[in-house]
């Protein structure tokens, strides 16, 4: 089994996780958790999204959170990532000194319209404009939502995903995030898509963003790794994705992914004990059970 010797985990809980918890995590909780994650050794943290506080009240204090963690993150050599949906978000991010911006376009037309009330083509046009205007000030990354399955039943063609990857790379994005937005993929599907994409563009260009709705995220991770993909977005505590089904539809848990990597002898640069502390801290602020497998082991004695 040919696997990368080293992989990068990009922690997205402060963005994808915090924005999906039912009860808003207080400012001091967000700051404490983000600082703890920085101590764990992540070199990139998706810390916030700069979005309308009416649409996503969980992110209303995004600017203040970034200001409060900036020095700690800098001291630990952590690059900050933020999600932005529009020019206003980009401007705020640039003001805040964010390092990289994630812009999301759904491969699925129906999902993109449901998500941002635009067709994918309109989003692509907007992304192009944003890069033309702000690309000299800040790095952009493109996230392709529903690349591994559309919740509205739309067929996702590999050729279309490849076209959108090409579009992002042509605009200067250094990497493209391939998202299984609602956890619909399976290892074969993940392998087939990533086989086509890595053959065309190289494995270095891709980050996987996998949700664990059906418990397949680690198997999907393994499938992508066998093709040399070595960057994965994960969320501490398995948060994220769907506030109404805690754990069921969240991101793959960082602690579960980290355990798999370390058990396979793959370097991550992440300290497991510090991550453990971050997850326990998270549990103090999230009023829903943390359902990652490793969390079960944290709470109970090892079972012999």
For 300, the token pair is: 């109970």
Q: Does 192 bind a second copy (CB under 8 A)?
A: yes
Distance in Å, CB of 28 to a second copy, minimum = 30
Is 214 a binder of a second copy (CB under 8 A)? yes
The binder of a second copy chosen from 19, 112, 234, 259 (CB under 8 A): 259
Does residue 261 contact residue 232 with C-beta atoms inside 8 Å?
no
From the centroid of its chain, how far is CA 260?
Answer: 18
Integer CA distances (angstroms), 280 to 68, 202, 304, in order? 21, 37, 23
One of 150, 173, 242, 303 is an active-site residue; which one?
A: 242
Query: Is residue 22 close enough to count as binding a second copy by CB under 8 A?
Result: no
Torsion of Cα atoms, 57 then 150 then 192 then 164, to 10°: -70
We find the least distance from the C-beta atom of residue 129 to a second copy, in angstroms, to be 29
- Residue 152 is a binding residue for a second copy (CB under 8 A): yes
Considering only residues 36-55, where is the footprint of a second copy by CB under 8 A? none
In the bound state with a second copy, the residue whose beta carbon lies nearer, of 13 and 93, is 13
Is 242 catalytic? The answer is yes
Give me the least distance between CB of 5 and a second copy, in Å please.
12
Rg from Cα positions in the chain: 18
Which residue shows structure tokens 């992440």?
270
Rule CB under 8 A: say whether 291 interacts with a second copy: yes
Which tokens is 193 given?
């898509």
Regarding 1 and contact with a second copy (CB under 8 A), the answer is yes
**Helices and strands in the chain: count of H runs, count of E runs:** 11, 8
Q: Indicate the residue among 87 and 114 with the shorter CB distance to a second copy.
A: 114
Rule CB under 8 A: say whether 302 interacts with a second copy.
yes
- Report if residue 109 touches a second copy, rule: CB under 8 A: no
203 scored as a contact of a second copy (CB under 8 A): no
Report the sign of the C-alpha dihedral through residues 17, 184, 109, 175, in that order: positive
Is 165 within 8 Å of 176 (Cβ atoms)?
A: yes
* Distance of alpha carbon 3 from alpha carbon 152, whole angstroms: 34
Q: Would you say 38 or 253 has its CB closer to a second copy?
A: 253
d(CA 61, CA 246) in angstroms, rounded, equals 23
- In the three-class reduction of DSSP (H, G, I as helix; E, B as strand; rest coil), residue 143 is classed as strand
- Residue 263 as a binder of a second copy (CB under 8 A): the answer is yes
Q: Strand ranges (DSSP E) for the chain?
A: 8-11, 44-49, 79-83, 100-106, 139-145, 176-180, 206-210, 231-234
- One of 119, 186, 272, 283 touching a second copy (CB under 8 A): 186
CB of 104 to a second copy, least distance (A): 16
Q: Give yes or no for residue 16 binding a second copy (CB under 8 A).
A: no
Active site residues: 242
Q: Point out which residues bind a second copy (CB under 8 A).
A: 1, 3, 114, 151-152, 182, 186-189, 191-192, 195, 212-216, 218-219, 221-223, 226, 241-242, 244-245, 247-249, 253, 256, 259-260, 263-265, 291-294, 296-297, 300-304
């Amino acid at each position: 089994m040919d696997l990368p010797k080293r992989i990068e985990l990009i922690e997205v809980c402060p963005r994808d996780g915090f924005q999906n918890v039912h009860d808003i995590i207080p400012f001091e909780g967000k700051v404490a958790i983000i600082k703890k994650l920085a101590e764990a050794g992540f070199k990139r943290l998706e810390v916030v999204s700069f979005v309308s506080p009416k649409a996503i009240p969980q992110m209303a204090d995004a600017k203040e959170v970034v200001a409060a963690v900036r020095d700690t993150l800098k001291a630990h050599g952590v690059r900050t990532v933020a999600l932005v949906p529009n020019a206003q978000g980009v401007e705020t991010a640039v003001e805040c000194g964010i390092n990289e911006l994630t812009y999301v376009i759904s491969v699925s037309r129906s999902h993109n319209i449901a998500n941002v009330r635009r067709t994918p083509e309109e989003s692509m046009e907007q992304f192009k404009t944003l890069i033309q205007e702000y690309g000299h000030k800040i790095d952009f990354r493109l996230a392709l939502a529903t690349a591994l399955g559309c919740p509205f039943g739309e067929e996702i063609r590999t050729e279309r995903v490849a076209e959108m990857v090409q579009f992002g790379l042509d605009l200067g994005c250094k990497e493209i995030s391939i998202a299984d937005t609602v956890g619909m993929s399976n290892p074969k599907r993940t392998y087939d898509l990533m086989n086509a994409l890595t053959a065309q563009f190289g494995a270095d260009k891709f980050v996987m963003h996998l949700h664990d709705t059906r418990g397949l995220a680690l198997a999907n991770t393994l499938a992508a790794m066998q093709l040399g993909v070595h960057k994965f977005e994960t969320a501490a505590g398995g948060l994220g994705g769907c506030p109404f089904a805690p754990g069921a539809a969240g991101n793959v848990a960082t602690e579960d992914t980290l355990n798999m990597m370390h058990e396979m002898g793959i370097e991550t640069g992440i300290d497991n004990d510090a991550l453990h502390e971050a997850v326990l801290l998270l549990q103090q602020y999230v009023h829903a059970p943390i359902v990652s497998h490793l969390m079960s082991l944290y709470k109970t004695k090892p079972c012999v």
